[in-house]
Amino acid sequence: MGHEAAVKAISVYLPEGVLDNAELVRQFGTWTENKIYGKTGVSERRVVGDEKVSDLAAAAGERLFEEHGIDRGSIDFLLLCTECPDYFLPATACIVQNRLGLRKDAGALDYNLGCSGFIYGLALAKGLVLGGVARRVLLITAETITRTIHPQDKSTRTLFGDAAAATLVESSAERGIGEFVLGTDGSGAERLIIPAGAWARPSSPETRVETKNKWGNVRTLENLYMDGPEILKFSMEVAPDCMNDTLERNGTSLEALRLVVLHQASHMMLVKLRELLAIPEEKFVFNIEKYGNTVSSTIPIALYDSMRSGRLGKGDSVLVMGFGVGLSWGGTVLHMS
């Protein structure tokens, strides 16, 4: 067994439903397709019908096994990152373990994290491998985030999409997943939140009352709320140190990297971050146009597309960073194998 952990394969699953800008214009009537695209960088996003997170997660796992010829019997541990579990309990990972036909002596657990979720998952998977707990870890990120959005909240409906990604992390003799920078600031928890519906504020007639803000966006306390300007400000504050510390801990530089893949929050945020971090355009990935913000899946989807298009190949190094809900952030360097 090797003394490193590496990302060996990634696959993506997108639900069939498509919500394009023309449909949003039809529904809202106040914006144009160009204005929506200009604000978000998104032309369409995938949305679930009645699929649950377990459906998306299981489909992503099946696709990974099929596309890469991976034996499901070789998986020792399943990590599922989601903010939209099927149930309060049991863990959705247990349902997905059964759906995928994984071994009964494989571990499985959920963890709830959003924009930095893939980075944290890589850290957990690497720890399981290096700790000798598992040789092969299946890391699945899956969200049905559009379900949490009020139909009349155009601030978030224009931005978010549903998706799942499955990533295989395994023991390796060669350098793979690098060193991590992780951070948390829970004082900003209320900036990106679904305020009601869980135990802190159970669902009630009061939490289902609709309110409209000055921009005409409607939501209840059981819908996703995002303070966009504050999330942007937070990301701009933590990104420089996160990038510099990640490069330093990994003994590398921007010049030595093939690509930089940030959480695909919005086109505007990505443009501002690219300028702030002085990342050359040819090394920067914009991957939001056809998917929207798929929360924990944006980074693996961008890696998958970059590999398929030839922008990222074996032996290349890529910096991955995510920041958002929590508030939470993280970064690492991946050496592609």
User: Any catalytic annotation for residue 263?
Assistant: yes
pLDDT exceeds 70 at position 1: no
Hey, which bits of the chain come out as E strands?
4-13, 17-20, 44-47, 77-81, 107-111, 136-143, 163-172, 181-184, 192-193, 211-212, 218-219, 225-226, 259-262, 317-324, 328-335
Looking up tokens 């600031």 gives 185
Of 81, 150, 242, 263, catalytic: 263
Helix axis angle for 228-249 and 267-277, nearest 10°, is 40
The CATH H-level superfamily of 181-335 is Thiolase/Chalcone synthase (3.40.47.10)
- Going by C-beta distance under 8 Å and a sequence separation of 6 or more, which residues neighbour residue 142? 53, 56, 57, 60, 80, 81, 82, 84, 163, 164, 165, 296, 297
User: CA 37 to CA 150: how far, in whole Å?
Assistant: 20
3-state helix, strand, coil in the chain (%, to 5): 40, 25, 35
Judge whether 78 and 93 are in contact, CB under 8 Å.
Answer: yes
CATH number of the structural domain 4-172: 3.40.47.10
Average pLDDT, the chain: 96
- Which pLDDT belongs to residue 88? 94
Mean pLDDT calculated for residue range 7-31: 93
Determine the Cα–Cα distance for residues 255 and 265; give it in Å rounded to an integer.
Answer: 24
Q: Do residues 9 and 297 touch, judged by C-beta distance below 8 A?
A: no
- In this prediction, residues 45-51 reach a mean pLDDT of 96
Mean pLDDT for 251-270 is 96
Average pLDDT over residues 125-141: 97
Instruction: Pull the structure tokens for residue 293.
Output: 């913000």
- For residue 106, what pLDDT band results from cuts at 50, 70 and 90? very high
Q: Is 84 a catalytic residue?
A: no
**CA 129, 132, 136, 139 torsion-angle sign:** negative
Q: Is the pLDDT of residue 62 over 70?
A: yes
Residues with Cβ within 8 Å of 150's Cβ and at least 6 positions away in sequence, in order, are 210, 217, 218, 219, 220, 223, 224
Q: How many CB atoms lie under 10 A from the CB of residue 162?
A: 29
Lowest mean pLDDT among 127-136, 177-186, 214-223: 214-223
Among 115, 242, 250, 267, the one annotated catalytic: 115
CA angle 56, 150, 153 (to 5 degrees): 120
Q: What is the pTM of this model?
A: 0.96
Instruction: Supply the pLDDT for residue 29.
Output: 80
How does residue 16 score in pLDDT terms, banded at 50, 70 and 90?
very high
Helix/strand/coil for 165? strand
Same fold, 4-172 and 181-335: yes
Q: Is 217 a catalytic residue?
A: no
d(C-alpha 144, C-alpha 154), whole Å: 17
pLDDT at 182 over 70: yes
Question: How does strand 77-81 pair with strand 136-143?
Answer: parallel
> What integer pLDDT is reported at residue 2 of this predicted model?
66
Name the residue ranges covered by the structural domains of the chain.
Answer: 4-172, 181-335
Residue type for position 121: G
